[in-house]
Amino acid sequence: MNLKKLLAPKMVLTELAGSTKEEVIENLVDLLMESGKIKDREVALACILAREQKMSTGMQNEIAIPHGKSDTVDELIVCIALKKEGIDFESLDGMPSKIFIMTISPLNRSGPHVQFLAEISQLLKEEEKREQLLAAETAEEILKVFIG
Protein backbone atom coordinates (compact mmCIF):
# COMPACT_ATOMS: atom_id res chain seq x y z
CA MET A 1 0.00 0.00 0.00
CA ASN A 2 1.30 3.45 -0.86
CA LEU A 3 1.04 5.46 2.35
CA LYS A 4 2.37 8.51 0.51
CA LYS A 5 -0.86 8.64 -1.54
CA LEU A 6 -3.05 8.35 1.55
CA LEU A 7 -1.28 10.79 3.86
CA ALA A 8 -0.91 14.55 3.49
CA PRO A 9 0.10 17.31 5.92
CA LYS A 10 -3.45 18.73 5.97
CA MET A 11 -4.66 15.39 7.37
CA VAL A 12 -2.30 15.49 10.35
CA LEU A 13 -2.74 17.22 13.71
CA THR A 14 0.15 17.67 16.12
CA GLU A 15 -2.19 18.48 19.01
CA LEU A 16 -5.62 16.88 18.98
CA ALA A 17 -8.38 18.65 20.91
CA GLY A 18 -10.88 16.86 23.12
CA SER A 19 -10.86 15.35 26.57
CA THR A 20 -13.21 12.38 26.02
CA LYS A 21 -13.19 9.50 23.60
CA GLU A 22 -16.27 10.91 21.84
CA GLU A 23 -14.75 14.41 21.49
CA VAL A 24 -11.55 12.95 20.07
CA ILE A 25 -13.52 10.88 17.55
CA GLU A 26 -15.57 13.94 16.53
CA ASN A 27 -12.42 16.00 16.04
CA LEU A 28 -10.83 13.26 13.94
CA VAL A 29 -13.97 12.98 11.77
CA ASP A 30 -13.88 16.77 11.33
CA LEU A 31 -10.25 16.52 10.22
CA LEU A 32 -11.28 13.87 7.68
CA MET A 33 -14.15 16.13 6.55
CA GLU A 34 -11.55 18.69 5.53
CA SER A 35 -10.38 16.24 2.85
CA GLY A 36 -13.64 16.88 1.01
CA LYS A 37 -14.01 13.12 0.54
CA ILE A 38 -16.76 12.52 3.11
CA LYS A 39 -20.26 13.06 1.78
CA ASP A 40 -22.03 13.17 5.16
CA ARG A 41 -20.34 14.03 8.47
CA GLU A 42 -23.07 12.52 10.64
CA VAL A 43 -23.02 9.21 8.76
CA ALA A 44 -19.22 9.06 9.02
CA LEU A 45 -19.33 9.86 12.74
CA ALA A 46 -22.04 7.26 13.34
CA CYS A 47 -20.04 4.52 11.60
CA ILE A 48 -16.96 5.23 13.74
CA LEU A 49 -18.96 5.41 16.98
CA ALA A 50 -20.85 2.20 16.12
CA ARG A 51 -17.57 0.37 15.55
CA GLU A 52 -16.20 1.77 18.81
CA GLN A 53 -19.24 0.49 20.74
CA LYS A 54 -18.62 -3.05 19.51
CA MET A 55 -15.05 -3.01 20.79
CA SER A 56 -12.65 -0.23 21.64
CA THR A 57 -10.07 0.58 18.99
CA GLY A 58 -7.64 1.59 21.72
CA MET A 59 -4.79 -0.80 21.06
CA GLN A 60 -1.66 -0.95 23.18
CA ASN A 61 1.53 1.11 23.27
CA GLU A 62 -0.47 4.39 23.46
CA ILE A 63 -2.11 3.85 20.05
CA ALA A 64 -5.76 4.07 19.02
CA ILE A 65 -6.98 3.29 15.53
CA PRO A 66 -10.65 4.31 15.34
CA HIS A 67 -12.02 3.11 12.02
CA GLY A 68 -15.17 2.27 10.19
CA LYS A 69 -16.74 1.43 6.89
CA SER A 70 -19.40 3.59 5.28
CA ASP A 71 -20.93 4.48 1.95
CA THR A 72 -20.24 8.13 2.80
CA VAL A 73 -16.74 7.70 1.23
CA ASP A 74 -15.70 6.41 -2.18
CA GLU A 75 -12.15 5.49 -1.18
CA LEU A 76 -10.06 4.82 1.90
CA ILE A 77 -9.31 8.06 3.76
CA VAL A 78 -6.92 8.51 6.65
CA CYS A 79 -5.89 11.09 9.24
CA ILE A 80 -3.29 11.06 12.00
CA ALA A 81 -3.27 13.05 15.23
CA LEU A 82 -1.32 13.22 18.46
CA LYS A 83 -2.53 13.98 21.96
CA LYS A 84 0.74 14.00 23.86
CA GLU A 85 -0.85 14.05 27.32
CA GLY A 86 -2.95 11.05 26.35
CA ILE A 87 -6.59 10.20 26.85
CA ASP A 88 -8.43 7.15 28.15
CA PHE A 89 -9.50 5.24 25.06
CA GLU A 90 -10.22 1.94 26.84
CA SER A 91 -7.00 0.50 25.44
CA LEU A 92 -6.11 -3.17 25.67
CA ASP A 93 -3.17 -2.40 27.96
CA GLY A 94 -5.07 0.15 30.08
CA MET A 95 -2.67 2.95 29.09
CA PRO A 96 -3.88 6.31 27.74
CA SER A 97 -3.77 6.70 23.97
CA LYS A 98 -1.53 9.39 22.47
CA ILE A 99 -1.26 8.37 18.81
CA PHE A 100 -4.51 8.35 16.81
CA ILE A 101 -4.96 7.05 13.31
CA MET A 102 -8.49 7.18 11.92
CA THR A 103 -9.62 5.59 8.71
CA ILE A 104 -12.92 5.27 6.92
CA SER A 105 -13.32 3.04 3.91
CA PRO A 106 -16.19 2.18 1.56
CA LEU A 107 -18.56 -0.58 2.61
CA ASN A 108 -17.94 -2.63 -0.52
CA ARG A 109 -14.12 -2.69 -0.40
CA SER A 110 -12.38 -4.49 2.45
CA GLY A 111 -8.96 -5.11 0.88
CA PRO A 112 -7.43 -1.62 1.23
CA HIS A 113 -8.92 -1.20 4.73
CA VAL A 114 -7.43 -4.44 6.06
CA GLN A 115 -4.11 -3.85 4.29
CA PHE A 116 -3.82 -0.33 5.72
CA LEU A 117 -4.60 -1.44 9.27
CA ALA A 118 -2.06 -4.26 9.03
CA GLU A 119 0.65 -1.99 7.62
CA ILE A 120 0.12 0.73 10.24
CA SER A 121 0.03 -1.81 13.07
CA GLN A 122 3.29 -3.36 11.87
CA LEU A 123 4.98 0.04 11.58
CA LEU A 124 3.88 1.17 15.04
CA LYS A 125 5.09 -2.01 16.74
CA GLU A 126 8.52 -0.39 16.71
CA GLU A 127 9.07 1.61 19.89
CA GLU A 128 11.47 3.93 18.05
CA LYS A 129 8.74 4.90 15.55
CA ARG A 130 6.30 5.66 18.35
CA GLU A 131 8.91 7.78 20.14
CA GLN A 132 9.62 9.69 16.91
CA LEU A 133 5.92 10.38 16.49
CA LEU A 134 5.49 11.68 20.01
CA ALA A 135 8.58 13.88 19.63
CA ALA A 136 7.30 15.35 16.33
CA GLU A 137 6.28 18.99 16.37
CA THR A 138 5.08 19.40 12.78
CA ALA A 139 2.85 17.49 10.40
CA GLU A 140 5.84 16.95 8.15
CA GLU A 141 7.82 15.32 10.98
CA ILE A 142 4.88 13.01 11.69
CA LEU A 143 4.56 12.06 8.03
CA LYS A 144 8.28 11.37 7.80
CA VAL A 145 7.84 8.56 10.36
CA PHE A 146 5.25 6.92 8.09
CA ILE A 147 6.59 7.59 4.62
CA GLY A 148 10.26 8.39 5.16
Of 37, 59, 75, nearest in space to 29 by CA = 37
What is the mean pLDDT for each group of 10 consecutive residues in the chain (148 residues)? 80 95 97 92 97 93 94 94 96 95 88 82 91 96 90
Domains (range + CATH), the chain = 3-147 (3.40.930.10)
Query: Could you confirm whether 113 is annotated as catalytic?
Result: no
pTM exceeds 0.85, yes or no: yes
In contact, 61 and 29? CB cutoff 8 Å: no
Given the residues 12, 38, 47, 67, select the one marked as catalytic: 67
Whether residue 89 contacts residue 129, with contact meaning beta carbons closer than 8 Å, is answered with no
pLDDT at 66: 96
Measure the CA–CA gap between 146 and 30, rounded to whole angstroms: 22
CB atoms within 10 A of CB 46: 15
C-alpha count within 13 angstroms, C-beta hemisphere, residue 118 = 8
pLDDT given at position 1: 59
Q: Any bridge partners for residue 70, and if so which?
A: none
